[in-house]
């Protein structure tokens, strides 16, 4: 088990084991997002408010940083370009050159949005601004990190799943997808026929298991992200309930690390899912001179 995974498990365990300290210091993070008001029949929760604020801040900040692109980039433009180039260089070899540019808006959007949402719990006011709950006579948080709400992480996972399905059907095609999942992976030239042909049944059964695994991907993506962010928020509440200033500080740095790792893991997993179908490792040598012929063959 890697050090990062061990750290994440320890982080989640501490958050789950200290609810009493959180309640002593005031308010722990509620298990579900709390409704603030309604727009017609639509309930608006505190996690939705946070997601809207973060999305608006991202759009405005990037527009201010770039303004008009220049040949000699400004500091803000250089930061955005480094982010773009870094994500493209990281995910391009995974998904394959054939779909790298097509999938790039999705992947950089997921990474940037999830990263800032994970870190939103560290912003001033998050977890410390409350409003009266007239229904119960108590208090409820006005701002809650969007990824500490299961609805938000499920939405991200479902969007990623729909995008994955679109990309593999668009750039690989139904025939290649079916062959990749259910096809016989053995080499007919190296295996005798009396062994090769029965393997069709074996690989078909493996394909059924693969389909079940694919259907569970949104579950694993959403629960992993939610569990780490929700656990981190509860841990910060717990430490702040014990001591307001010095004790929570190391956990803020830990939350920075976990937030970055979880955004990176989510993005890389989506990239791997796409690359498993669309990138079989042979398009890099052909990129630039044999790409068109390969696309035509698919």
pLDDT in tens, 60-97: 888 888 877 777 777 877 888 888 889 999 999 999 88
Alpha-carbon Rg for the chain, nearest whole angstrom, is 23
Q: What is the pLDDT of residue 132?
A: 56
Tell me phi and psi for residue 42, to 5 degrees.
-85, 120
pLDDT of residue 268 exceeding 90: yes
* Among the listed residues 208, 235, 284, the one whose alpha carbon sits nearest the alpha carbon of residue 25: 235
Compute the residue count for the chain. Answer: 298
Residue 3 lies in a domain: no
222-250, pLDDT tens digit by residue?
Answer: 999 998 888 888 777 777 767 666 677 77
Residues 6+ apart with CB under 8 A from 22: 28, 29, 234, 237, 238, 241
What token pair was written down for 178?
């079916």
**In the predicted model, what is the mean pLDDT of residues 37-44?**
85
Domain of 202, in residue numbers: 24-297
More confident residue, 129 or 21: 129
Query: pTM score, two decimals?
Result: 0.75
Q: What is the pLDDT of residue 15?
A: 41
Q: What is the pLDDT of residue 139?
A: 58
Residue 240 lies in a domain: yes
Residue 127 lies in a domain: yes
Residue 12 lies in a domain: no
CA distance 54 to 146: 9
Domain count, the chain: 1
Q: What is the pLDDT of residue 34?
A: 78
First to last CA, the chain: 38
Mean pLDDT (the chain, rounded)? 78
Flag the least confident range among 15-24, 37-46, 114-123, 283-292: 15-24
Residue 115 lies in a domain: yes
Residue 164 lies in a domain: yes
Residue 14 lies in a domain: no
**In the predicted model, what is the mean pLDDT of residues 194-201?**
78
* Among the listed residues 274, 277, 148, the one whose alpha carbon sits nearest the alpha carbon of residue 222: 148
How many helices (H) and strands (E) are present in the chain, helices listed first? 12, 4
Residue 6 lies in a domain: no
* Among the listed residues 8, 11, 34, the one whose alpha carbon sits nearest the alpha carbon of residue 266: 8
172-193, pLDDT tens digit by residue?
Answer: 889 888 888 888 777 767 777 7
Give the strand pairing for 42-45 and 35-39.
Answer: antiparallel
CA distance 262 to 153: 12
Other beta carbons within 10 Å of 95: 27
SS3 248: coil
């Amino acid at each position: 088990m890697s050090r990062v995974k061990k750290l994440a498990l320890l982080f989640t365990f501490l958050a789950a084991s200290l609810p009493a300290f959180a309640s002593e210091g005031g308010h722990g993070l509620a298990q579900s997002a709390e409704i603030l008001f309604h727009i017609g029949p639509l309930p608006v929760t505190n996690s939705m408010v946070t997601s809207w604020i973060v999305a608006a801040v991202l759009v405005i900040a990037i527009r201010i940083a770039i303004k008009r692109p220049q040949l000699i980039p400004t500091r803000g433009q250089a930061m955005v370009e480094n982010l773009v180039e870094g994500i493209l260089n990281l995910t391009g070899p995974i998904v394959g050159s054939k779909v790298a540019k097509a999938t790039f808006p999705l992947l950089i959007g997921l990474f940037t949005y999830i990263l800032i949402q994970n870190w939103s719990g560290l912003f001033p006011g998050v977890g410390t601004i409350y409003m009266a709950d007239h229904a119960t006579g108590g208090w409820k948080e006005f701002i809650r990190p969007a990824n500490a709400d299961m609805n938000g992480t499920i939405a991200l996972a479902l969007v990623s799943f729909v995008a994955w399905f679109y990309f593999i059907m668009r750039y690989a095609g139904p025939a290649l997808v079916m062959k990749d999942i259910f096809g016989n992976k053995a080499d007919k030239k190296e295996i005798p026929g009396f062994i090769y042909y029965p393997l069709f049944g074996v690989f078909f059964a493996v394909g059924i298991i693969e389909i079940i695994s694919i259907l569970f991907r949104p579950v694993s993506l959403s629960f992993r992200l939610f569990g780490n962010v929700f656990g981190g928020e509860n841990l910060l509440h717990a430490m702040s309930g014990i001591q307001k200033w010095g004790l929570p500080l190391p956990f803020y740095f830990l939350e920075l690390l976990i937030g970055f790792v979880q955004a990176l893991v989510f993005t890389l997993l989506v990239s791997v899912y796409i690359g498993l179908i669309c990138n079989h490792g042979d398009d890099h040598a052909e990129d630039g001179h044999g790409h068109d012929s390969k696309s035509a063959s698919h």
